Structure 1
Amino acid sequence: MTHKDRDEPRPDPESTTIDPPTVSPRRTPAPTRPQPLPTPPQPQPNQQQPPTQQSPPNQGPAQPGPPPPPATTTDFNAGRPAPRPPAPPPTAAEPGVDPEKLVLQDVHGDSRLRRVGRAAVRPFRPADEMQRIAEHGRWIQHPVTTGRRIAVIGVRGGTGKSTVAALVASVFARYRQDRVLALDVDPERGSLPLRLGLRGQYTLTDLARAELATASFDQVEPYLAHPLERLWALPGTRGPIGGAALSADTYRSTGIPLTRFFGVTITDSGAGIRTELHRAVLRAAHAQVLVATATPEGAASVGHALDWMAANGLQALHPRTIVVFTAHSPTMAQGLDVKRASEVLTEVGAGVVRMGYDRHMAVGAALDPSRLAQATHVTAVTIAAEALRRSVS
Structure 2
Amino acid sequence: MPASADSQTIFGQETDRSAEFFATDQFGYQSDNTAERVVPQELGLRKPAQPRGVEAGAFEPPSSWDLSSSVLLKPVKAAPRRGWRKAVYSCTGGAVNLGDGRREAYLAALTKQLNAPLYGCHKIAVLSLKGGVGKTTVTAALGSTFASLRGDRVIAVDANPDRGTLCNKLPLDTDATVRDLLQQGPDIQRYSDVRAYTSQALSRLEVLASDTDPAVSEAFSADDYGRVLDVLERFYNLVLTDCGTGLMHSAMSGVLSNADALIIISSGSVDGARSASATMDWLEAHGYADLVTRSVTVINAARPKAGKVDLDRVIEHFARRSRTVRLLPFDAHLEEGAEIDMERLRPATRIALMELAATMAEGFGQR
Structure 1 length-normalised TM: 0.63
Offset of residue 241 of structure 1: 7.8
Q: Is the 8 A contact 1:321 1:387 kept in 2?
A: no
Per the alignment, residue 190 of structure 2 pairs with 216
Secondary structure of 1:291's aligned partner: strand
Cα 1:322/1:334, change in 2 over 3 Å: farther
Number of residue-to-residue matches in the alignment:
273
Equivalents in 1 of 2:314, 2:215: separation in Å?
Answer: 35
CA distance in 2, matches of 1:138, 1:210: 38
Q: Which amino acid aligns with 1:206?
A: D
Output the CA distance in 2 between the equivalents of 1:345 and 1:211: 40
Indicate the residue corresponding to 2:208 in structure 1.
234
Residue 123 of structure 2 is aligned to residue 149 of structure 1: yes
- Residue correspondence of structure 1 range 235-314 to structure 2 within 5 A: 235-240=209-214, 243=217, 245-314=219-288
Give the conservation status (yes or no) of the 8 Å contact 2:129–2:278: no
Deviations 1:259-309 (Å, cap 9, x if unpaired)?
331111111111132323112111111111111211122222222211211
Q: Does the 8 A contact of 1:342 with 1:351 survive in 2?
A: no
Distance 1:199 1:230, change over 3 A: closer
Runs of 4+ with >6 A deviation = none
Quick one: distance in 2 between partners of 1:285 and 1:344?
24
Which shifted more, 365-374 or 205-214?
Answer: 205-214
Counterpart Cα distance in 2 of 1:152 and 1:333: 26
Pairing 1:338–2:300 present = no
Match of residue 361, structure 1, among 326, 334, 347: 334
Return the offset for 1:386.
1.0
**CA distance in structure 1 between the partners assigned to 2:156 and 2:350 by the alignment:** 18
State whether residues 294 and 333 of structure 1, in contact with CA within 8 Å, keep that contact through their aligned partners in structure 2.
no
Q: Aligned residue for 2:168? A: 194
Q: Taking structure 1 as reference, are residues 241 and 290 closer, same or farther at Cα in structure 2, changes over 3 Å only?
A: farther
Quick one: which amino acid aligns to residue 140 of structure 1? L
Q: Could you tell me which residue of structure 2 aligns to residue 161 of structure 1?
A: 135
For residues 334 and 245 of structure 1, what CA distance do their matches in structure 2 show? 40
Query: Aligned partners of 2:202 and 2:217: how far apart in 1?
Result: 30
Residue in structure 2 matched with residue 377 of structure 1 by the alignment: 350
Change (3 A) 1:229 1:296: closer
Change (3 A) 1:208 1:346: same
The answer (yes or no) to whether the contact 2:219–2:250 under 8 Å persists in 1 is: no
Corresponding residue for 1:49? none
% same residue: 30
Task: Quote the Cα distance in structure 2 between the aligned partners of 1:217 and 1:200.
Answer: 16
CA contact 1:180–1:262 (8 Å) conserved in 2: yes
CA-CA distance at 1:197 after TM superposition: 2.5
User: Which of 341, 360, 363 is the equivalent residue of 1:387?
Assistant: 360
SS at match of 2:244: strand
1:163 is displaced (CA, Å) by: 0.6
CA spacing shift, 1:131–1:333, aligned 2, 3 Å: farther
Q: Which has the higher contact order (CA 8 A, sep 6+)?
A: 1
Match of 2:18 in 1: none
Distance 1:383 1:215, change over 3 A: same
- Contact preservation (8 Å) 1:151, 1:289: yes
Q: How far apart, CA to CA, are the structure 1 residues paired with 2:271 and 2:103?
A: 31
1:178 counterpart = 2:152: yes
Query: What is the Cα deviation at residue 332 of structure 1?
Result: 8.4
CA distance in 1, matches of 2:187, 2:151: 24
Unpaired segments ≥5 residues, structure 1? 1-118
One-letter identity of the residue aligned with 2:110: H
In our comparison, the structure showing a higher alpha carbon Rg is: 2
**RMSD (CA atoms):** 2.9
Give the Cα separation in 2 of the matches to 1:252 and 1:313: 19
Q: Is the 8 A contact 1:153 1:272 kept in 2?
A: no
Equivalent residues of 2:164, 2:212 under 8 A apart: no
Describe the shift of the 1:340–1:391 C-alpha distance in structure 2 as closer, same or farther (beyond 3 A). Answer: farther
Letter in structure 2 aligned against 1:363 = E
C-alpha contact 2:298 2:328 (8 A) present in aligned 1: yes
Aligned-residue offset at 1:314: 0.8
Give, in angstroms, the shift of residue 256 of structure 1. Answer: 4.3
Task: Give CA-to-partner distance per residue, 1:171-196, whole Å, 9 cap, x none.
Answer: 01111011111111111122211012
